[in-house]
Amino acid sequence: MNTLRNKVQLIGNLGMNPEVKEIRNGRKMAKFSLATNETFKNSVGEKTTNTQWHNIVVWGKAAGIAEQFLQKGSEVALQGKIVSRTYNDKDGNKRYFTEIEANDILLLGRKN
């Protein structure tokens, strides 16, 4: 059950092309935003869509896959964990940041 403590699975569309960086020892990191949509009927029966945006980061081989195959609008399924970080901005204010660290990515939809 330990593997279920911090596990996230999302299906959505990329909001931007992946931003890929090569860091120490040639290891790659890719960042992108992912939109997930939930559709429901509101109190008057109208179809409503609620969109949530998620910050995604992938490392290593998954970052290489993201760089090679993903682009804005791509539909993907991914699995990973929630990671929260803090940092101090240029004015010394403490900022909080939450992202999904994905370890598996599955490309959905049609081939281009």
Is 61 inside a domain boundary? yes
111 by DSSP, 3-state: which?
A: coil
pLDDT over 80 at 1, yes or no:
no
Is 7 inside a domain boundary? yes
Question: How far is C-alpha 35 from the chain's CA centre?
Answer: 8
pLDDT over 70 at 37, yes or no:
yes
pLDDT digits (tens, 9 = 90+) for 99-110: 999 999 999 976
pLDDT over 70 at 3, yes or no:
no
pLDDT, residue 5, reads 86
- Is pLDDT larger for residue 34 or for residue 3? 34
Total length of the chain: 112
pLDDT, residue 24, reads 82
Residue type, 36: T
pTM of the model as a whole? 0.84
- Domain holding 55, by residue range, is 2-107
pLDDT over 80 at 45, yes or no:
yes
pLDDT digits (tens, 9 = 90+) for 62-73: 999 899 999 999
- Is pLDDT larger for residue 28 or for residue 111? 28
Under a CB-based contact definition with an 8 Å cutoff, are residues 67 and 20 in contact? yes
What total of structural domains would you count in the chain?
Answer: 1
Burial 74-98 (b: 16+ CB within 10 A, else e): bebebebeeeeeeeeeeeeeeeeee
pLDDT over 70 at 112, yes or no:
no
The enclosing domain of 83 has a CATH number of 2.40.50.140
